[in-house]
Amino acid sequence: MSLSVQFLSLLAMIGTGIGAGVFMDLIGTGVDATGKRSIIRKYAVPLEVIGWILIGCASFYVLFIVRDGAWRMYDPVAQICGLLLYASVFHRPFRFLGRILNMLIIKPIWFIISLVAKIISQVFKLLVKITRILLTPFIYLYNKVSESLFKSDEI
């Protein structure tokens, strides 16, 4: 294995460490943004475990692409260096990017989805009210007729 391939694989492992930091920070931020009684907060530990498993699978996939799955002793060190690099250098820019994406993409989409849901709900409520208003005379007549038909003459 040439020196350039080893350097490329080292950079790839540092990149997976940075990616792991981003992903785990995303999970932690998402859990912190939920309410105290949220189901997401209740299952925060299993979510983090699943996150770490996914990070491990993704790291091995990158290792498989770069070096056909050959593992070296410096790979975990490179990943830890990537995690520390994310924590020290890339934490703020990624958080800033996340806030921008949240404001420009996620919040408008969520607003549109909730607006459509509210419109559908209001239309359904309006249809129910119209149906009630139209059926009110028939219900009144039914109640009057049923009282006279099923009334017992014995007293």
The total of structural domains in the chain comes to 1
* Residues 15, 62 contacting (CB under 8 angstroms): yes
Q: Give the model's pLDDT for residue 125.
A: 97
Query: Is the pLDDT reported for residue 116 higher than 90?
Result: yes
Assigned domain for 109 exists = yes
Residue 88's domain comprises 3-149
CA 85 to chain centre: 26
Query: Is the pLDDT reported for residue 84 higher than 90?
Result: yes
Q: Give the model's pLDDT for residue 1.
A: 67
Encoding tokens for residue 92? 């703020």
Per-residue pLDDT tens digits for 24-63: 998 888 888 888 888 888 888 999 999 999 999 998 898 8
Assigned domain for 154 exists = no
Assigned domain for 90 exists = yes
pTM: 0.68
Query: Is the pLDDT reported for residue 94 higher than 70?
Result: yes
